[in-house]
Amino acid sequence: MLETDVATITEALKSFALGFGLDILGAIILLIAGWWVAGRAAALVRHSLKNAKFVDSTLKPLAASIARYTVLIFVLIAVLSNFGVQTASIIAVLGAAGLAIGLALQGTLSNIAAGVMILVLRPLKVDEFVEAGSISGTVVEITLFTTLLKTPDGVFISAPNSQIWNSAIKNYSRNPTRRLDIKVGIAYDDDVDAALEFLKKLVASDPRVLKDPEPMSFVATLGESSVDLTARGWVATADFWPTFFDLTRKSKTELEAAGFSIPFPQRDLHIKETAETASVAKATEKPASKPAAKPAAAKAPAKKPATRSRASTAKTATKSAAKPASKAPASKTDTSNS
């Protein structure tokens, strides 16, 4: 009886191990195959959209990522079904867990929502130079969570999508043309009209400056040390910075060659003397004359002891002279009485 039970249990364990082992082996094979298929699906989507002109370049990496993760989700559900797990209950648990995770990761989900809005409305695209808040650079890639940019000095920036979306976006590459302003100052003694005409011709002579709208020049401000002039023209967006640098250099060199002067900041001071300023000047000169009188004052204490000795000597002489005079009348009276 005991031997029969042991044999039955052993047979059951063997069948269970064999079946479970086959399930594990099948799950492993399914995972490996699903991972490979997911990678191939992403590569296929990326390659198929590479030369598609009707799809924006910003959406291509996002579409590849969505295809890959979609395949992986189906593979995971198939593996769980292979072990006899009810996928309906798993989906319910995942839904509850997703709700809790969503509440905990509101900032991350806001980045996803902002990324979707950026991809749908497209205020910026790949290879465009943009400025959003304190961030500026050329867009490299837009993912579900972050926007990748490259600054003109080669610095890599990974900005959250919510930060980009919640800021005013300045796109410097979207419009085909941009306005170019060349600012320069001349001296007040120079001929303003001649300088304006010279600057206008200088800007118009550059072949990269568009003829329509026509270039113009005007007096922008009257500065403290110069008359500030501005020459304005329109150029293609791709030619903006090279044209700006060239015309800025020429505005300095050619203006000076034409006889105009570009002054540096300076001020002319004109001092007017009035009655008040004269009295103040005299008051400031008095302390300078006082030190000259100090030596005479310093000698005075040395003479005081001599003055006191003379006074005491005079008083003594007066007293000695006065005593005999007072006694003389007394002696005369005594003589008369006798």
From first to last of its 338 residues, the chain has per-residue pLDDT tens of 555 666 666 666 566 555 566 667 777 888 888 888 888 888 888 877 777 666 666 677 777 888 888 888 788 877 777 666 666 666 777 677 777 766 766 677 788 888 888 888 889 988 999 999 889 999 998 887 889 999 999 999 999 999 999 999 999 999 999 999 999 999 999 999 999 999 999 999 999 999 999 999 999 999 888 999 999 999 999 999 999 999 999 999 999 999 998 888 767 777 777 777 667 667 776 554 455 445 444 444 444 444 444 444 444 444 444 444 444 444 443 433 33
Q: Parallel, antiparallel, or unpaired for β 146-150 and 135-142?
A: antiparallel
User: Which strands, in side-by-side order, build the sheet including 177-186?
Assistant: 177-186, 227-236, 216-222
Q: Parallel, antiparallel, or unpaired for β 227-236 and 216-222?
A: antiparallel
Q: What's residue 315's pLDDT?
A: 44
Query: Which residue in this structure is represented by tokens 């008083």?
Result: 315
- Roughly what angle, to the nearest 10 degrees, separates helices 240-257 and 192-204? 140
Q: What's residue 200's pLDDT?
A: 94
- Roughly what angle, to the nearest 10 degrees, separates helices 106-121 and 87-104? 90
Query: Each residue of 51-69: b (16+ CB within 10 Å) or e?
Result: eeeeeebbbbbbebeebbe
Q: What's residue 21's pLDDT?
A: 65
**pLDDT per residue over 38-74, tens digit each?**
888 888 888 777 776 666 666 777 778 888 888 887 8
Q: What's residue 19's pLDDT?
A: 59
Q: What's residue 304's pLDDT?
A: 47
Tokens of 110: 């806001």
Q: What's residue 66's pLDDT?
A: 80
Classify the C-alpha dihedral 19-22-28-33 as positive or negative.
negative
Rounded Cα distance between 61 and 66, Å, is 9
Q: What's residue 306's pLDDT?
A: 44
Tokens of 324: 């005999």
Q: 3-state DSSP call for residue 118?
A: helix
For residue 138, the number of C-alpha atoms closer than 13 Å in the C-beta half-sphere is 8
Which residues partner with 82 through β-bridges?
none
Torsion angle defined by CA atoms of residues 27, 29, 30 and 36, in that order, rounded to the nearest 10 degrees:
140
Q: 3-state DSSP call for residue 158?
A: strand
Q: What's residue 245's pLDDT?
A: 95
Task: Answer for the pair 183, 230: CB distance below 8 angstroms, yes or no.
Answer: yes
This prediction has a pTM of 0.54
